[in-house]
Structure 1
């Protein structure tokens, strides 16, 4: 959950006990769904089961906007989630005093593989006058991943405060194909450098085992290379339930 300027947002909410009903959750959610405070918005980046949980959506408020890529939003409407709101890359909406801007992620987000019309994936930039945060969903490392930040912040002579970036892991025989749609630990540090953000928080680890990797493989890989990273003191590794307060002064 993110809180900026008094506005509370959850990103890709998933409280499922198992991923796809097969791969069990290995750590409890950092915040019980019953303990959530009043929310102002929910953000969905794409349709994969680890990011879009219908069971979780059923337990969350149905009267607050649920922002998603257009094809995903249409699908949600068809399933009765009429609070889904389509948002396209480059579009900005206002939630209280937070400006929410969508950007295109490099990731095939189709739920079942054959539903390629649902493959679009978003990243989200949340910006107030005091704090800017990028939530990247799932994305690969590309030369233009940081373009949206440059367009929204750098022209105003401002800097990204917080980069929330996924980290993943794959065995050597799958590494090349994996990196076409995901960030490895090394890729995430490279993107953090390109974004020139003040702080980096890695996520997408420690929750579910995957078919070709264990839940903590990615964070173990990051911890292994972090001592040699020139900005290691600007990386914050948060265990589930831990809170990070970002000071803007």
Structure 2
């Protein structure tokens, strides 16, 4: 694991950090072995890859309430959930997209069950994009093609080549605990318990992780990307304390024996929130794509129950509808 570094900013159409040479594989960063042939055979035998019919009945009841983005001044901050892991984060005078997926359908997955919460034409000019890892529900080529090629992109180690092949000119790749700065906002790349693959032969060839954004006012917004539960959250809190908002995944967790190591369930998301010591939590990675076997509304129901059992103030949970926003005070 690389030690913390501070990468300098840049002016003009250059990367924030120059391209680097990375290891051929990041498999040594896995915190649990990936499923083998026996596990895949069991999954095929059980057929538990999508909810049963009764688990899909609540699709019309999923929270979808698009609204105009709230006004935010240069010193303000706000987040808007576009759906799944796609957020519009406005902080320190920048507009940042996380894992932007504006497509109706992604490879190997049924079409969206809720529309995108923010129309592309309603977005402010995008100042930066952060990518957590290369899975298709987090890195969507048709959406990326909509961006100007001069848009600064911050990506995990090894993933920069994917963007440079598409002629993006300001691509920054970071290892865990490294950071880069853009116009006064610091982007820290932090660990996650996950993995990467985009094709048949590139398993763990690129890194995965989350992003902490620290604005000039000292506000910290943590975007977890995809992660199973584990010690990374306490370590993040130790190295980067004072988190104002944690954007944490709560869906795509069933069957548990198959997904436990790479996706948190709602109860584990609450544990991660407590480990992080954050002021607020906003759930994500649910109500958008049907990726696993739990009923579509179950993640939020279980999150509410776990939140209450933990004795947490309900006002600290920002369970936004798709298209909803909150301003960070």
CA offset at residue 125 of structure 1?
0.7
2:78 alignment counterpart: none
CA offset at residue 227 of structure 1?
2.9
- State which drifts further: 119-128 or 208-217: 208-217
Distance 1:15 1:170 in 2: 23
1:76 aligns with 2:163: yes
- State which drifts further: 192-201 or 206-215: 206-215
CA offset at residue 5 of structure 1?
1.8
1:90 aligns with 2:172: no
CA offset at residue 144 of structure 1?
2.9
1:127 aligns with 2:214: yes
Contact 2:191 2:208 in 1 (8 A): yes
Distance 2:318 2:110 in 1: 27
Contact 1:185 1:219 in 2 (8 A): yes
Which of residues 229, 232, 251 is equivalent to 1:144?
232
1:187 aligns with 2:268: yes
- Which is richer in helix? 1
RMSD: 1.8
Which of residues 104, 108, 113 is equivalent to 1:26?
113
1:118/1:220 CA distance change after superposition, 3 Å: farther
CA offset at residue 163 of structure 1?
0.7
2:61 alignment counterpart: none
Contact 1:169 1:217 in 2 (8 A): no
2:134 alignment counterpart: 47
Contact 1:164 1:203 in 2 (8 A): yes
Secondary structure of the structure 2 residue equivalent to 1:148:
helix
Aligned length: 240
Q: Deviations over 1:218-240 (max 9, x none)?
A: 22322343332311411110001
Q: Deviations over 1:198-234 (max 9, x none)?
A: 0000100111112434543322322343332311411
Alignment of 1:187-226 (within 5 A): 187-226=268-307
Contact 2:197 2:204 in 1 (8 A): yes
- Structure number with the bigger relative contact order (C-alpha 8 A, sep ≥ 6) is 2
CA offset at residue 46 of structure 1?
0.3
Distance 1:239 1:17 in 2: 18
Secondary structure of the structure 2 residue equivalent to 1:145:
helix
